[in-house]
Amino acid sequence: MSIIPLEIILETDLESALKAEPWLKTADFKATPHSFCLIPNNDGSMQKVVVGGGKAIDLWTLASLPQKLPLGEYTLQGVYTPEQATTLALGWELERYQFNRYLSKPKNFPTLVMPATADALLVQNMRDAIFLARDLINTPANDMMPADLSRVATSIAATFDASIAVHTDIEHAFPLVWAVGKGSENKPCVIVLEWGDKKNPKLTLVGKGVCFDSGGLDIKPAGAMKLMKKDMGGAAIALGLAQLIMAMRLPVRLRVIIPAVENSVSGSAFRPLDIIKSRKGLTVEIGDTDAEGRLILADALDLAAEDTPDLIVDFATLTGAARVALGAEIPAVFSNTPALAEKIVGLSQTQQDPLWQLPLYDGYRAQLDSKIADLNNVSNSGYGGAITAALFLKEFVPESIRWVHIDCMAWNMSMQSGRPEGGEAMGLRTLFALLSQGEWQHG
């Protein structure tokens, strides 16, 4: 079978395209995003595919095609800059994702010949990192508990010659992580991966690894528990980004910290109004056992700060309040360095990987006060829940260390081109773009 050309037509070029190819007029082709038209040869075989590019080429221009075109091999026709070619190829690859671990007959997809001007290594490694995160999030909890997550991290470390430690004796070393996870027969652990030349700037990624969240003794209703296999989405994104950093050999001293737990219900589960001393020494009164993610992140952030990295980034499926504020598709970004948050938001627009900044408004800090402990893990107000959760985490990061907190859904609620329903590596492409600039540790 011959390789079939793909020709992208922008709306501004539609008139000339209709004159050059009468079949397009017959098919009432409009050149709108995600539109396409199969152009036949005289013998009925396929000559080429004309693709609508809308007003401008972007990441999603080709992204609907692998689900719709006949099986075969396709090639991009025309002249494109390296950036355009890389973007188009990545969009195509992201649409080819399928979570097939439990399928007896996985679907086959058409393939795209890598454009000559594209950065093939980046496309491949970016795709693999995003697919890793999606796979981890989509895996049901019966096959993705703390031990399973640690095995994945260990495999990644072995691939890139990184060091890894999986801490399981954590009752005293990570008391908040232990408190959240001790109610489950799937015992908690803290995963620490390290990679890179020690002379490079230090980057630490932290990922919330709640492998399933029942809500603990403050048990969630069934509807709210339905998607809780995704509550380790922050850990999945952190691992995906770490894999990409190592595969692309960015000049960083990388450290990844994942507190991994199941928040379960049992006689040994932690209780409302328990008071637990954190790894940092601050005592925390438990106002709600379903606000467990911030607890395990608190101990992880304290560990992250110990070697004074140039930047700490944490990813977490932390609050429903962030989803109320921004919807399911836009993660909230908080930072103790506003200029850095602004840079991240700007990059998210260019990467078509949207994020939006919310404030670390200190005026709400008093809402976390406790009368009998240093702080409560939940606010005494029904408002600003994403902000108060971020303020809780801020207590465990020294002001001198630049820190970014990303509160994300990690899940596509519906199918969009290149973004299938299910687990999603939200923020991964944006943060990689930031780190690739080489100036992230300064501004």
0.85 exceeded by pTM: yes
Rounded-to-integer distance, Cα 271 and Cα 130, Å: 36
Tell me: pLDDT of 443 over 90: no
Tell me: pLDDT of 239 over 90: yes
Residue 307 structural domain: 123-436
The answer on 252 and 338 residing in a single domain is yes
Give per-residue pLDDT as tens, 346-374.
999 999 999 999 999 999 999 999 999 99
Give the chain's mean pLDDT: 97
In a domain, 443, yes or no: no
Average pLDDT over residues 300-322: 98
Question: Do 136 and 144 form a contact (C-beta atoms < 8 A)?
Answer: yes
Q: What are phi and psi of 321, to 5 degrees?
A: -65, -35
CATH code, domain with 428? 3.40.630.10
- Residue in the structure block whose two tokens are 């950093």: 245
Is 220 among the residues known to form the active site? yes
Q: Which residues lie below 8 Å from residue 409, measured CB to CB, with a gap of 6+?
A: 233, 317, 323, 328, 329, 331, 424, 426
Of 69, 89, 118, which residue is a domain's last? 118
What single-letter amino acid sits at 57?
I
The answer on 303 and 332 residing in a single domain is yes
The answer on 335 and 198 residing in a single domain is yes
Question: Do 75 and 6 form a contact (C-beta atoms < 8 A)?
Answer: yes
* Residue 46 vs residue 235, higher pLDDT: 235
Domain total in the chain: 2
In a domain, 441, yes or no: no
Tell me: pLDDT of 441 over 90: no
Transcribe 175-202 into DSSP letters.
HHHHHHHTTSSS--EEEEEEES-TTSPE
Instruction: For residue 195, give the nearest of 151, 144, 248 by alpha carbon.
Output: 248
CATH code, domain with 28? 3.40.220.10
Confidence of residue 3 (pLDDT cuts 50, 70, 90): very high
Residue 294 CA: distances (Å) to CA of 254, 300, 406: 23, 10, 12
The answer on 148 and 31 residing in a single domain is no
The answer on 134 and 62 residing in a single domain is no
The answer on 156 and 305 residing in a single domain is yes
Catalytic residue among 30, 182, 220, 277: 220
Tell me: pLDDT of 252 over 60: yes
What whole-number percentage of the chain has pLDDT above 70? 99
In a domain, 204, yes or no: yes
**Category of 119 on φ-ψ map: left (φ > 0), alpha (ψ -120 to 50) or beta:** beta
Question: Do 404 and 313 form a contact (C-beta atoms < 8 A)?
Answer: yes
Q: What is the pLDDT, as a whole number, of residue 43? A: 87
Q: What is the pLDDT, as a whole number, of residue 1? A: 63
- Token pair listed for 320: 């429903």
How close are the terminal C-alpha atoms of the chain, in Å?
Answer: 52
Catalytic residue among 202, 229, 230, 294: 294
Tell me: pLDDT of 344 over 80: yes
Confidence of residue 312 (pLDDT cuts 50, 70, 90): very high
- Token pair listed for 37: 């038209």
- Residue in the structure block whose two tokens are 């939940």: 378
Q: Which residues lie below 8 Å from residue 227, measured CB to CB, with a gap of 6+?
A: 411
The answer on 72 and 189 residing in a single domain is no
The answer on 284 and 263 residing in a single domain is yes
Reduced to 3 states, what is the DSSP secondary structure of residue 413? coil
For every residue of 159-176, which 3-state class applies, written as one string? HCCCEEEEECCCCCCCHH
The answer on 317 and 195 residing in a single domain is yes
The answer on 233 and 208 residing in a single domain is yes
The answer on 209 and 103 residing in a single domain is no
Confidence of residue 440 (pLDDT cuts 50, 70, 90): confident
